[in-house]
Amino acid sequence: MAVVHFPRQFMPYTDQHKTHEAEGLCVNDVLGNLTARFPALIGPVFSEDLHPLPFVGLFVNGMPVMSAQDRGRALDSNAQLILINAVAGG
């Protein structure tokens, strides 16, 4: 079971959850299950085809997910998926 971590700015789209456990053998699977559970993530976070928008970062165990190959790679059983968003406060 992968654990997905959200920045607080995404919590309005996740029923105020900061983390969520999602099933999936690869990133694509996890994102499919994640957005099925929290469809409001589509639009402000993911495109309709479940790609992170250009101002969103997606990481698996600290490594960036940048390609279709990354998205299809098998996840280990305790994978940590981390989402971050571009912020500009200073």
Partner 1 sequence: MQCDLKTDTSRYARQIILSEVGALGQQRLKDSKVLVVGAGGLGCPVLLYLAGAGVGTLGIIDNDIVDLSNLHRQILYGVADVGELKVSAAKRRVNQLNPDIVVDTFATTLNPDNVLSLLASYDIIVDATDNFDTKYLISDACVAGEKPMVYASISQFEGQVSVFNHYHHATQERGPCFRDLFETPPPPHLTQNCAQAGVLGVIPGLLGCFQANEVLKLILQTGEPLSGKLLSIDCLDNTFHLLSVHKNRNRLPAPTLGASTTPAWRDSDWLSPDKLHDWLESQAPLQLVDVRDSHEHLHASLGGRLIPLKDILDRRQELDTTRRIVFYCKSGVRSKAALLAVRSIHPHAELFSLEGGIERYLTTYPDNATLVAP
Asked if 64 touches partner 1 (CB under 8 A), the answer is: yes
Instruction: Please report how close the Cβ of residue 58 comes to partner 1 at its closest, in angstroms.
Output: 10
30, 28, 33, 3: which is closest to 18 by C-alpha?
A: 3
Reduce the DSSP state of residue 16 to 3 states and report it: coil
55, 7, 8, 60: which is closest to 29 by C-alpha?
A: 60
Asked if 85 touches partner 1 (CB under 8 A), the answer is: yes
Do the strands 63-64 and 56-60 form a parallel or antiparallel pair, or are they unpaired?
antiparallel
Asked if 31 touches partner 1 (CB under 8 A), the answer is: no
**Options 22-30, 39-47, 71-79: segment touching partner 1 (CB under 8 A):** 39-47
Instruction: Please report how close the Cβ of residue 59 comes to partner 1 at its closest, in angstroms.
Output: 5
Neighbours of 34 (CB within 10 A): 26
- Residues of this chain that bind partner 1 (CB under 8 A): 5, 7-9, 18, 40, 42-44, 47-48, 53-57, 59, 62-64, 66, 82, 84-90
